[in-house]
Structure formats: structure tokens, C-alpha cells
Structure 1
Amino acid sequence: MPIVRISLPKTTLDHAQHIGQCVYQAMRDTIGIPEGDNFQVISQHEPGELVYDPSFYGIERSAGFMIIEVTLARGRAPEVKQRFYHRITELLSAECSVRPEDVMITLFEIGPGDFSLGEGKAQFLENLPPHLQELGAQPSEAPTN
């Protein structure tokens, strides 16, 4: 169950939601996320609230710079992650007029036992979903203390 945080410059609600839809579609297309597994926090920011170097690492960023953070279960190969990054920028460019140079993506990988889908339970400790089993994921061990 990925949790996506998108921090972007102030825009219309429709545009912000379309950006979120593109990220969700990229997850579906490349990293095996099942239909309906879409949990996002989209934050819009005034000028100056997103702090970044406009040319760090030789990438020229504009005022349209955004940060996409995805927390997800670990286990995807580097080439799968690279396809994911590319697909996000491809969709955002084609559908939302976002420059690929303006998209920074960070993945935070955690174990299946580090999720609670609600009810105060770590559901994946009891029943690992098929898409995580395919990654070779194992439920996290319970703490000993």
C-alpha cells in the first residue's frame, strides 16, 4: 500500500488532482500496484515554501518544481524503480505540462509489517497480498520487547 506525498506549487485543484492521477497510473503501469490502492496527500505551496537549488546536479529547475515522495513495501529491482521514475515524468509531461526537470522523486521502502490499513492492525503480518508475495516480501517479525 503505497502512500504518496506530492508537494507542488500553488495551482488549481483539478490540476493538482490530475498530477496525483498520473502518479497513481505510473504506479499501476510499472510497480505492480493493484487497482484501488491509491492513498495520496497533495500539498500546494506558495512561492518560497518549496526550497530547492535551481541547478543542483546539473538539472535546471523552474518555479514549477515539485517533490513526489512514495512510501512503499521494499523489494523492487533498480530497473523497475527507474521505469517508475520515467513513467511518472512521461505522464506528467504529456498530460499536465510538467517539465521532467521539475520532478524530484524519492522512494521510502519499508517492510510489510510496517503498514496498518486501519483498525489498529498490521494486516500484512497476517495476510500478505499477492502483489507483495511476488516481490518475495516476508512479513516483518514482531518486536521481542
Structure 2
Amino acid sequence: MPFVRIDALGADGHRLDALGRAVQDALMEVLGIPPEDRFQVLTGHDGTTSTLRHGDCPGVHHDDGIVFVAITMRAGRGPDQKRALSRRIAELADPYADTEPRNVFVSVTENASIDWSFGDGEAQYAPAGGDAAGAVP
């Protein structure tokens, strides 16, 4: 159940929704995430009261169409799955949200099952007396 944050410069609600759909569809296709596991924070920045900074590293030219996608998920996916996920998000961002693939910046952070609570103050993935490490199979 990944937690996704998407930040985009000059994005209205329609574009933010499209970017959220692109990421969710990629998560479902590449990692087999169920469709109801959609936990996203979508933020548009107007360039005045809030903005994004970007550079051209490593050798990828970005412009103000940049989108930052930060995904936090349980550990257990291999390098090939993570590469495929980043690639698929960039592929879908173009037709869904008119965002050039070069402007899709993806960061994946992994953690353990004990690091998640979905409500009620409980660690649903690591109940008391269970294995707190609990990587994704």
C-alpha cells in the first residue's frame, strides 16, 4: 500500500488528478497494487506562494513542467521492478497529463511493515507479537 506525494508546478486539479491516475495505474500494472490501495497527496504549486526548484542532473533537462513523484512503500521490490515502475509512470504521465517523460522525477523510499498505521493507532502490517520487519514477498 504505497503512499504517494505528487508535486507539480502550475498544475490545476485536472492535471493533478491525471498525474495521480498515471501513478496509480503504474503501481497496479508493475507492482500489482490493488486499485483500492490509493493513498496520495497531490499538490499544485503556483510559482509565487509556493514553487518547485529543479536542475538538469544527471544529464536530463527539466523545465517548469517538472513533476516530483515521491513513493513510500514497504521494502521487498527488486531493482528491475523499480526501474519498470519509474519508466511506466513517465510513459503514462504523457498521455494522461500532457507531461513530458523527461520531466517526471521519481523517488522511491522503502520502509518496514512496522512503519505503517492506517488508522486507530494500530500497525496493521505488524500487529503486536508479530514480525516487525515484514518485507513484501
| Partner in structure 1 of residue 26 of structure 2 | 26
| Partner in structure 2 of residue 50 of structure 1 | 52
1:69-108 aligned within 5 A: 69-108=70-109
Shift of 1:99: 0.7
Q: Find the aligned partners of 1:2 and 1:94 in 2 and give their Cα distance.
A: 23
- Mean Cα displacement is larger for which, 23-32 or 9-18? 9-18
* CA shift digits 1:51-108 (9 cap, x unpaired): 111x221111111011100010000010000110011011111222111111110011
Q: Find the aligned partners of 1:34 and 1:16 in 2 and give their Cα distance.
A: 21
Structure 2 alignment gaps of length 5 or more: none
| Partner in structure 2 of residue 15 of structure 1 | 15
Structure 1 alignment gaps of length 5 or more: 128-137
Q: Which has the higher helix share?
A: 1
Task: Say whether 1:140 aligns with 2:136.
Answer: no
Shift of 1:12: 2.1
Q: Find the aligned partners of 1:102 and 1:139 in 2 and give their Cα distance.
A: 39
Question: Would you identify which runs of 4 or more consecutive aligned residues in structure 1 move more than 6 Å?
Answer: none
Shift of 1:110: 0.5
1:108-127 aligned within 5 A: 108-126=109-127
Task: Say whether 1:38 aligns with 2:38.
Answer: yes
Identity across the alignment (%): 28
Equivalent pairs counted in the alignment come to 130
- Aligned residue type for 1:79: D
Q: Find the aligned partners of 1:19 and 1:139 in 2 and give their Cα distance.
A: 35
Q: Find the aligned partners of 2:104 and 2:82 in 1 and give their Cα distance.
A: 15
| Partner in structure 1 of residue 68 of structure 2 | 67
- Aligned residue type for 1:4: V
Does the Cα contact within 8 Å between 2:11 and 2:46 map onto a contact in 1? no
Q: Find the aligned partners of 1:50 and 1:12 in 2 and give their Cα distance.
A: 15
Shift of 1:20: 0.4
Distance 1:2 1:51, change over 3 A: same
